Every structure is written in structure tokens, then in C-alpha cells.
Chains A and B, each alone.
Chain A
Amino acid sequence: MPILSANGVTHLYNKGTPSQSKAIYDINVDIEEGELVGIIGHTGSGKSTLVQHFNGLLKPENGQIIVDGKDIWKDKKSTREARFKVGLCFQYPEYQLFEETVYKDISFGPKNMGLKEEEIHKRVLLAAEYVGLKKELLEKSPFDLSGGEKRRAAIAGVIAMQPKVLILDEPTAGLDPKGRDRILEMIKSYRERTGSTVLLVSHSMEDVAKIATKVLVMNKGQVEMYGTVDEVYSHSVELRNIGLNVPQVSKVFEILKSNGMNLGSAYTVEKAAEIILSKGGASV
């Protein structure tokens, strides 16, 4: 049974006004437990609208969102449950830090869940550890942290609710390469350690290729493709047509192929090097 499903989900913006438009349309997708799904698509393709449906922030006009076997709009209780089962971390989450200390900020979610003080304490420490925040930072004001630390603190606040599904909307936007790699590493190890399902909204085809198990491509409010990294990235022409691009190493392999040297395909530098070296040259 999938952990998360959208069945025929449609959402309208500005309903009932002259500017009414379909933000997403007839979305059908099943996400299996434990997957790390990269969600890609250009601006306005409906990525953010879709993920906001997954934890009940937006209500579909038509169709159902099923989380852990339950329709989240069946009754009030189901909706509330969905908000804890599916943790959503917005773009630039560091702008949402507000408490006096990092500790209080991370504990805000679990507190709202009505957990006991002891359990909250345990969760805050564990979440801080997952995101690589040192213990001594917990008593600092969130505003004294560096940009990368702030972002990790904000993500820890969502992780502390121990959601079954963690959704991150462009968690690496605006970071420098090192900050970006730390966040990607963190997401990967969080998933491996907890077995949780993670949805990663991203503009970077390179980042998605590095860590995702599945890729969901959105275009004009609909699901264009959904499959493994290999299945999706091999459609480079279709991806380009909808304003996306394949990683630079994949282009290298495409050029080789058009010159009569078919080495298969590679979407990360590691894989590309491995393939080329296996073809020879290494012994020279």
C-alpha cells in the first residue's frame, strides 16, 4: 500500500473570479513508503501546489489525497493527523524561525502535537542530531546562527514531529556548494536511518540525480513523468521541451552517442567516470 496517493486531484486558483485557473489538474500518483522522490518542473508547473495538498494545507477541488490509507479530508481528525504525518518544510524556512532559542523553535511542532515534555526533549535532541546541529547551538537565539545553520534548524523543527513523509521545498536554494552538499547528505542519511519517505522539490537535476530513488516531473499542472532516475532522465528531449535540462555529464554521453560511441547513460559524475574507465584508458 502506498504511503501517499493523489487520486484525480484538481485545484483551482482564484475560484469563481474571472482569473480562475487550474493550478493542478487530474493528478494521479502513488508514492511508496521509503522512497526518496525528487519533484521537478519549472516555475508555475504546480510542484508547490501539489505538495501543499499532501499535508492538507490546500484542499482539492476534486479528487482525494490518501495518507497512510486514509482520506485526509474525510473528517477533521483525519486532516489534523495528516498535518503531523506529513511534514512540510517550505522554501527559505529560516524566515519562519521565531522563538527565543533554537531549542524552543524545534520543540514548537511536537508541543502542538500534545506530546509530553520528556518525549519532546528526546525528539528535539534527535532532530538536531539528524540535521547536524551541535548541542551548544540549541540554547542560542536562532537569529545568531549562520544561514546554513538556520536552515538546518528550521528543517529540524519539522523532523522533530517525526512525520512519516517529509517534504522539503527547495531546501538547497540560495546556499553555496558546501552548504548544499551538507543538506543533501543530511536528507540522504535521514532517510536511510529512519526509513521515512522523503519528497524533495528541486530545480537542480544534478541534486535529484545524486540522491533520489524516483523522479516526479510536473508540467503545466499535470504529472508529465514518474519513474526511476534512469527512466526519467533518459527522456532528455522531452525534458528540454518542458524547460528542464539534463545534467552536464549526461550531455557528454549524448554527444558521445551521436558520434557513434554508445556508452549507455550516466547522470552523476561518479557513474560517468566509472563507465568510461571500464571502457579502457585506465591502464595507460
Chain B
Amino acid sequence: MEDKVIIKFDNVSFAYKADEGETVATGVVDGFSLNVPEGQFLAILGHNGCGKSTVAKLMNGILVPDSGTVTVDGMDTSDDEKVIDVRKTVGMVFQNPDNQIVATIVEDDVAFGPENLGVAPEEIRKRVDDALKAVGMYEFRGREPHRLSGGQKQRVAIAGVIAMNTKCVVMDEPTAMLDPQGRQEVMDTIRMLNKERGITVILITHYMDEAVKADRVVVMDKGEIVLDNEPRKVFKNVEKLKNLGLDVPQATELAYRLKQAGFPIADDILDEKECAAAILKVLEVK
């Protein structure tokens, strides 16, 4: 059986209207098509200005296409009548945690979304508690958000999305402003949402170690998809990714360099364990 597609881009074009006096607008997409099956963990990579954030904003109707269609769970995002339903289906988490916290108490912040949807108070209470438990922030429910660490704030923002019962979460560089520990917390939360709750996750990131954990990696350049495959097959293209201004995981790069120098090692290595095992195999024979 074919997987159900939750987000579908069909030949979508979009350009920002240049302000007066401005010349070039970046982040344009042109003839962009993409199917995201329900339950997938999709990572989108690309350098700044390649159009990935534009794609993210097209996913829940913050932007609507100039031409072509974006369909979310069967709804056309250009349809004004459907805008609320689209946003109920696809939640967004942005880069800067400080820009997306609205309340002065953690649980009020998480309740903000469902309140706006007109959910009944007792149901809100249930959802808020459930969402905060899911991201491991329940014990912080009475705290002031500005006293939390960056990673904790992002988890509260994610809880706000969960409390809206969205089927899909789009995250635009949610870990870019966090320290390694905060990044780990947020990545663990993202994986849990996807694996345990079956929420479709679209993660935009510059961190390759995060992309490695996805089911599928899409690499964008100049508003187009240039690579689209499982992580192992995408990261094999070391040269191509570097030319696009992107990284590969260090373990992948090490294997690539060794292979270039004539060291007989596989070219689809993703992490430190695989890399060490492959090196051992070669050197132990010697």
C-alpha cells in the first residue's frame, strides 16, 4: 500500500516581492515538487538563501504559492476558508526561542494555541499536561519561560505545537541558537514525536549529525531539489555537498579522504562507530 501523502508540493513557484529600491530577492522557489508521506522524518538541507525556509513557510500557509499548489492533508493552502485547518494540521517551530514564547508562565504558553482554537478548558488542561510531559517539561509548568535555558524554551515551543494536536511539525533550524546539550534535548524530543506519536517531522538544519537521523534527506540549491534520498545515499556525495557549501558528518568526511588517498574503505559511512569498524577491518589485516 502506498503511504498517505500529508504534504504535497505540485510545481510550486514563489518569489518575494522586492521592496522599492531592492534588486535581488533570495529564497525563491521555482517549479518545486515534493511529497511528504505521513509519519516521515524529513530533513531539508541547503545553504542560506537556497529557499528552504520559503518551503517551510509554504507548508502551513504563512506563504501561499504564486503558481502551483501546496496541499496539506488534502487541503489547498491557497484556500482562505481552509487556513485555520491547515494551521491545525501543520505546526511551526522557529529558530529563536525568545521570539515565539508569548506567555509569562510555561503552561499558559502551551495553552495559547488550543485556546485560540476554541478548545474546551478541561480538554486544554489535559492537552497541556500531556504535551509538557511529552517534552519532559511538566515539572517546569509553573515557571517563567524567560528563566529557562534555550533548549528548554524550544521544548516549550514544541509542546505548544503538540497541544494543538497537529499531525505535522515543521522546524526551521530549531537548534541553531542552542548549546550542544540544548541541541541534544531538542533532537531527542523531535525523535520521540516522530517515533512514538507518529507525527510527521520536517526539520530544516545546518547540522549534518541531525540530518543523519532522519528517514530522508532533501538537499536544496537555488530553489530546487538537487538530492533526495535516505541519509546514507545523500551523504555519499561528499564532493557535491561541499560544492553546495554544505558539510558532511566528520566520520563521512574522514572515510572520504582516506578513500581518496587509496585507503580501501566504504564510501557510505555515517557515524563514528561505522567509521572505526571500517578502519579496524583494514588496518588489522596488515
The yes or no answer to B181 lying at the interface (CB within 8 A) is yes
Interface string of A248-284 (1 = CB under 8 A from B): 1101110110010100000001101100110111111
Given contacts A43-B150, A176-B48, A256-B280, contact A281 B264 (CB under 8 A): yes
Bound-state CA distance A252–B273 (Å) is: 7
Assess the A177–B279 pair: CB atoms within 8 A.
no
How many A residues face the partner with a CB closer than 8 A?
42
| B102 contacts chain A at the CB level, 8 A cutoff | no
Complex interface: chain A residues within 8 A of B279 (CB): 252, 256, 261, 276
Task: Assess the A281–B286 pair: CB atoms within 8 A.
Answer: yes
Q: Knowing A249-B251, A269-B257 touch, does A179 contact B48 (C-beta < 8 A)?
A: yes
A39 to B284 Cα, complex, angstroms = 38
CA gap between A273 and B149 in the complex, in Å = 37
- Among candidates B47, B254, B272, B280, residue contacting A269 with C-beta atoms closer than 8 Å: B254
Given contacts A148-B48, A272-B254, A280-B286, contact A43 B181 (CB under 8 A): yes
B246 at the interface (CB under 8 A from A): yes
CB contact list, B259-276 vs A, under 8 A? 261-265, 271-273, 275-276
Closest to B253 in A: A269
Q: A269-B257, A281-B262 are in contact. Are A147 and B250 (CB under 8 A)?
A: no
Is A144's beta carbon under 8 Å from chain B?
Answer: yes
Q: Does A112 contact B (CB under 8 A)?
A: no
Query: C-beta contact mask, B185-220 vs A, less than 8 Å → 1, else 0?
Result: 000000000000000000000100100000000000
CA distance A171 to B240 in the complex (A): 26
| Count of inter-chain pairs, beta carbons less than 8 A | 119
A273 touches B250 (CB 8 A): no
Q: Does B283 contact A (CB under 8 A)?
A: yes
The chain B residue with its CB closest to the CB of A180 is: B206
Q: Is the CB of A248 within 8 A of B272?
A: yes
A244-B180, A282-B261 known; A177-B247 Cβ under 8 A? yes
How close is B213's CB to chain A, nearest CB, in angstroms? Answer: 14
Q: Which residue of A lies closest to B283 (CB)?
A: A279
Contact flag A243-B275 (CB < 8 Å), given A43-B150, A148-B48, A248-B209? no
Residues in A with CB closer than 8 Å to B275 are: 252
Q: Does B176 contact A (CB under 8 A)?
A: yes
Asked if B258 CB lies within 8 Å of chain A CBs, one says yes
Contacts of B178 in A (CB 8 A): 43
**Would you call B177 and A261 a contact (CB within 8 A)?**
no
B118 part of interface (Cβ distance < 8 Å): no
Chain A, Cβ-Cβ closest to B48? A176
Q: How far is the CA of A24 from the CA of B251 in the complex (A)?
A: 36
CB contact between A42 and one of B173, B180, B254, B286 (< 8 Å): that residue: B180
Interface: A17 (CB within 8 A): no
- A91 → chain B closest CB, angstroms: 9
Instruction: Say whether A113 faces chain B, with CB atoms less than 8 Å apart.
Output: no
Query: Could you jot down 18 A-B contacts, CB within 8 Å?
Result: A42-B179, A43-B149, A146-B26, A173-B176, A175-B206, A176-B47, A178-B246, A203-B180, A261-B279, A261-B284, A269-B253, A270-B257, A273-B254, A277-B258, A279-B286, A280-B286, A281-B264, A281-B282
Known: A174-B177, A243-B179. 9 other contacts (CB 8 A): A43-B179, A44-B149, A146-B49, A148-B48, A203-B180, A244-B180, A248-B209, A248-B272, A252-B250
Residues of A within 8 A of B (CB): 42-44, 144, 146-148, 173-179, 203, 205-206, 243-245, 247-249, 251-253, 255-256, 259, 261, 269-270, 272-273, 276-277, 279-284
